[in-house]
């Protein structure tokens, strides 16, 4: 689709959220994987005074992230694992650029909600939680959404003939999610469970 085609689709929903202050969320996949297209869409939304949200894993060049941040009203920033070796093992990519981008957004006081997908036996350990609390407190990023892992996408991976690394992962029990939420709440965070 072209930018103008996407904007026409967006404008069809204006009536639903123009008075409520709603807007458009760019997600994916990863919207930053198509940075120029995303930038054009953000510009078009800004011209029409449409609020914008970008949902991202944060894996992008820092200058790109900061350039786009001037056009984004809110980032939903996924943060999975702080230990660099574990992050590389489970995601296949280093977390250095992700953490640097999160820090850069925080330093520029950009609106960010951190989204933490809770995956049992992968990132739910007390050390990862402790490190997240410490880092996010230091960055003054006080809003966090806990996203309990689910297997909704497993079948899609199979149909596409793609390997799925987390096929054996299970959804976290509600008691675990409540325990993690409590840790963040006691540290002063505004916690929401779910998207």
Query: Is 178's pLDDT higher than 70?
Result: yes
Q: What pLDDT is attached to residue 18?
A: 72
Encode pLDDT of 27-45 as tens digits. 988 999 999 999 999 999 9
Q: Which residue has the tokens 């914008």?
A: 52
CATH topology classification for 85-193: TIM Barrel (3.20.20)
Quick one: what percent of the chain has pLDDT higher than 90? 78
Per-residue pLDDT band for 127 (boundaries 50, 70, 90) equals very high
Question: Within 13 Å and on the Cβ side, how many CA atoms surround 122?
Answer: 23
- Residue 71's pLDDT band, with cuts at 50, 70 and 90, is very high
Does the pTM of the predicted model rise above 0.95?
no
Confidence of residue 66 (pLDDT cuts 50, 70, 90): very high
Of 152 and 174, which is predicted with more confidence?
174
Residue ranges of the domains in the chain?
85-193
- Structure confidence at residue 21 (pLDDT): 79
């Amino acid at each position: 689709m072209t930018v103008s085609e996407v904007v026409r689709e967006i404008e069809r929903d204006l009536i639903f959220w123009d008075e409520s202050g709603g807007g458009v969320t760019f997600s994916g996949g990863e919207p930053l994987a198509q940075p120029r297209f995303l930038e054009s869409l953000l510009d078009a939304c800004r011209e029409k005074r449409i609020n914008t949200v970008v949902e991202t894993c944060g894996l992008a060049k820092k200058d790109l992230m900061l350039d786009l941040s001037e056009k984004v009203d809110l980032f939903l920033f996924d943060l999975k694992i702080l230990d660099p070796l574990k992050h590389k093992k489970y995601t296949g990519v280093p977390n250095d650029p992700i953490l640097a981008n999160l820090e850069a957004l925080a330093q520029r006081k950009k609106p960010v909600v951190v989204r933490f997908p809770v995956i049992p036996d992968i990132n739910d350990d007390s050390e990862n939680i402790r490190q997240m609390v410490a880092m996010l407190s230091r960055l003054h990023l006080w809003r966090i959404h806990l996203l309990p892992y689910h297997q909704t996408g497993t079948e899609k991976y199979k149909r596409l003939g793609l390997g799925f690394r987390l096929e054996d992962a299970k959804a976290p029990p509600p008691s675990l999610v409540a325990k993690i939420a409590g840790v963040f709440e006691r540290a002063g965070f505004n916690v929401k469970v779910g998207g």
